[in-house]
């Protein structure tokens, strides 16, 4: 089996959907700018530095989902897609995804950003499979908690293993695997696949990729 995996934020997107979602809610007046903007920026810097506490961040990111009806969240997300996401989807990213879908047996986006934010983005890109951090739900509404293992760093490997098992297969049946990512936080999974690819990488990942002979590409 040939498996192709894509990170989403700052890889297929020329920006970070997690960060942009919080900024969008601030701009809409849903979240208080004074309280949330500085924390959103701080968490983003921690992510880029590889020092993010994922559980602390998810408490910040998922709590607002629990304060509003799912129907209202969906309305906001539609506008978020139009105003924040579509402008940062590069044509090269769409082409790369399309080529992977045509040539690989299984293609998935694998992202730390929660599935409420990212599922519509995956659909927009034509990717049927999404492995993401899952927000806990009760009767269709969000509780503000995370369900299961966050899809972050080593958690991406655990979630990928579960994804493959759900489809009646396993890692040892994957003959060729390719993972595209921009982030040092994805080094655990990049080191596992047979063909790691650094995409517009951060300085740490770029240095690691160059020293290990990994391809470095740009979709910008």
Is residue 9 part of the annotated active site? The answer reads: yes
Cβ(136)–Cβ(145) under 8 Å? Answer: yes
Which pLDDT score is estimated for 35?
82
| Domain span including residue 195 | 2-217
CB under 8 A, 24+ apart: contacts of 50-59: 50/184, 50/185, 50/204, 52/152, 52/185, 54/112, 54/150, 54/152, 54/153, 54/155, 55/146, 55/150, 58/114, 58/133, 58/146, 58/150, 59/144
Please provide residue 114's backbone torsions phi and psi, each rounded to the nearest 5 degrees: -65, 155
The helix/strand/coil state of 193 is coil
Please say if 7 is a catalytic residue: yes
The low-confidence residues of the chain, meaning pLDDT below 70, are: none
**Which residue of the set 9, 16, 18, 186 is catalytic?**
9
User: In this structure, what CATH number is given to the domain that contains residue 203?
Assistant: 3.40.50.1000
Q: Which of 7, 16, 18, 182 is catalytic?
A: 7
Report the number of distinct structural domains present in the chain.
1
pTM assigned to the model: 0.95
């Amino acid at each position: 089996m040939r498996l192709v995996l894509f990170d989403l934020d700052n890889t297929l997107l020329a920006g970070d959907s997690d960060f942009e979602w919080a900024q969008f809610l601030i701009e809409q007046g849903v979240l208080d700018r004074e309280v949330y903007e500085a924390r959103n920026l701080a968490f983003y810097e921690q992510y880029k530095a590889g020092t993010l506490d994922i559980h602390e961040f998810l408490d910040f990111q998922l709590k607002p989902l629990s304060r509003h009806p799912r129907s209202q969240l969906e309305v906001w997300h539609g506008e978020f897609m139009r105003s924040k996401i579509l402008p940062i989807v590069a044509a090269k990213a769409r082409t790369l995804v399309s080529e992977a879908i045509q040539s690989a047996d299984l293609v998935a986006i694998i992202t730390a950003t929660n599935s409420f934010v990212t599922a519509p983005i995956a659909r927009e890109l034509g990717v049927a499979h999404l492995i993401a951090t899952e927000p806990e739900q009760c009767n269709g509404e969000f509780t503000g908690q995370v369900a299961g293992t966050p899809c972050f760093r080593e958690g991406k490997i655990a979630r990928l293993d579960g994804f493959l098992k759900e489809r009646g297969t396993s890692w040892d049946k994957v003959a060729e695997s390719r993972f595209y990512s921009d982030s040092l936080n994805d080094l655990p999974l990049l080191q596992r696949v047979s063909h790691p690819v650094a995409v517009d990488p951060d300085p740490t990942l770029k240095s690691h990729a160059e020293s290990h002979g990994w391809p470095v590409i740009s979709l910008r």
